């Protein structure tokens, strides 16, 4: 795959946001942006599809709630009926208030943990994975934007990127 990309480095997130808007207006294609921290609203500015992580989180929450209900019903009512606070009614509904904290906790537990794991899988992250960022400084204080050269003139593009506030630009030739 012979593609040329420019690595433009920005030093400020506001500057980056403005640059993203200008570059998209000029119809250049941004491949990827590496940031030292999440930049609020960057996904919208880049025109990425909205995340579906929230929906999965909601579903995981429902799973957690069901697990909690089934678990408490089995443990406290069916398998070994428990006398709860002097209310030995052996009915799930009548002892339900005592289970609410557990239902709540498991809902949160499932939603949070499974959502994080889903996020890692979607972002292709796992332990001992080799870092992908092209410049180590993006873990410190700079923002790096990959712009596809595609059919454009490299010099024009470079000048344009400098105008948007890039502090340094590198041409990467993937051959």
Partner 1 sequence: MIVGAIGLIYGFIAAPETVEDVKEMMASEHHGEGHADESTTNINVEQLPGNEVEVENIEGYESEVAEGEHGEAHGAEASHEDEHYEHVLHQLQNKPWAALYVAAFFFFMISLGVLAFYAIQYAAQAGWSPVLFRVMEAITAYLLPGGLIVFVILALSGLHLNHLFIWMDPEVVAHDEIIQNKTAYLNVPFFLIRAAIYLGGWVLFRHLLRKNSIKMDDATDNSIFKKNFKLAAGFLVFFIVTESMMSWDWIMSLDPHWFSTLFGWFVFASLFVSGITTIALMTIYLKSRGYLEFVNDSHIHDLAKFMFGISIFWTYLWFSQFMLIWYSNIPEEVVYFITRMEDYPILFWGMIVTNFIFPVLLLMNSDYKRVNWFVVMTGIVILTGHYLNVYVLVMPATVGESWFIGIPEISGVLLFGGLFLFVVFNSLTKAPLLVKGNPFIKESKHYHY
- Of 111 and 145, the one with the shorter C-beta distance to partner 1 is 111
Which residue of 21, 29, 31, 58 would you call a contact of partner 1, by CB under 8 A? 58
- Of 58 and 162, the one with the shorter C-beta distance to partner 1 is 58
Give the residue with the Cβ less far from partner 1, 28 or 109. 109
CB 21 within 8 A of CB 45: yes
Pick the stretch among 8-16, 71-79, 84-92, 122-130 that binds partner 1 (CB under 8 A): 84-92
Interface characters, 7-46, with partner 1 (x: CB under 8 A): ----------------------------------x-----
- The secondary element (H helix, E strand) that includes residue 10 is strand 3-10
Q: How far is CA 55 from CA 2, 41, 108, 114, in A?
A: 38, 19, 14, 12
- ∠51-57-60 over CA atoms, to 5°? 145
> Does 62 participate in binding partner 1 (rule CB under 8 A)?
no
Sign of CA dihedral 36, 38, 41, 46: positive
Type and span of the H or E element at 6: strand 3-10
In this structure, the number of other CB atoms found within 10 A of the CB of residue 14 comes to: 10
Question: Which range touches partner 1 (CB under 8 A), out of 81-89, 110-118, 139-147, 153-161?
Answer: 81-89
Which chain residues interact with partner 1 by CB under 8 A? Answer: 41, 54, 58, 85-87, 97-98, 100-101
């Amino acid at each position: 795959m012979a593609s040329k990309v420019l690595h433009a480095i920005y030093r400020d997130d506001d500057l980056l946001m403005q640059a993203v808007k200008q570059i998209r207006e000029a119809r250049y294609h941004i491949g990827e942006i590496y940031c030292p921290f999440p930049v609020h609203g960057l996904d919208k500015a880049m025109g990425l599809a909205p995340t579906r992580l929230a929906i999965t989180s909601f579903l995981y929450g429902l799973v957690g709630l069901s697990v909690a209900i089934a678990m408490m019903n089995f443990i406290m009512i069916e398998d070994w009926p428990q006398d709860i606070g002097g209310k030995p009614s052996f009915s799930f509904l009548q002892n339900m208030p005592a289970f609410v904290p557990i239902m709540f906790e498991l809902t949160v537990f499932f939603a949070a943990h499974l959502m994080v794991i889903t996020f890692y899988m979607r972002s292709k992250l796992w332990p001992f994975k080799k870092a992908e960022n092209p410049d180590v400084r993006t873990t410190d204080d700079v923002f790096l934007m990959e712009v596809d050269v595609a059919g454009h003139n490299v010099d024009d593009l470079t000048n344009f990127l400098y105008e948007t506030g890039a502090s340094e630009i590198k041409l990467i030739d993937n051959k």
